[in-house]
Amino acid sequence: MAADRTARMADLEDMTRQRDALADALKDCRRGQADVYDYLTYDADWHRRLRLTAAENGCQIPDHKTFLRWKDQ
């Protein structure tokens, strides 16, 4: 009986370590995704301002695909 309890406690400790490792990995992933989203927002605005400046000055620039349009191709 004590051996069963010891084994269960060891399993519980192992599962707790695994849960904590997964929680940390998820936090890192979410942080990385937030950075990508922030960059894509910046990039889209940069390209929009470039197109407006080009149009105001009579310049033509080639079409640029957004990330989502590029991904869908």
Q: Residue 10: pLDDT above 90?
A: yes
pLDDT, residue 19, reads: 96
- The answer to whether the pTM exceeds 0.95 is no
Written as six digits, the tokens of 51 are 């197109």
Q: Which is nearest to 40 in space by CA: 16, 65, 73, 17?
A: 65
Domain boundaries, position 8: 2-72
Report which secondary-structure segment, H or E, holds 51. helix 2-56
Average pLDDT of the residues in 48-61: 93
pLDDT, residue 15, reads: 96
Alpha carbon distance 70, 64 (integer Å): 9
Q: Helix (H, G, I), strand (E, B), or coil: what is residue 57?
A: coil
Q: How many domains does the chain have?
A: 1
Average pLDDT of the residues in 29-50: 90
Q: Residue 66: pLDDT above 90?
A: no
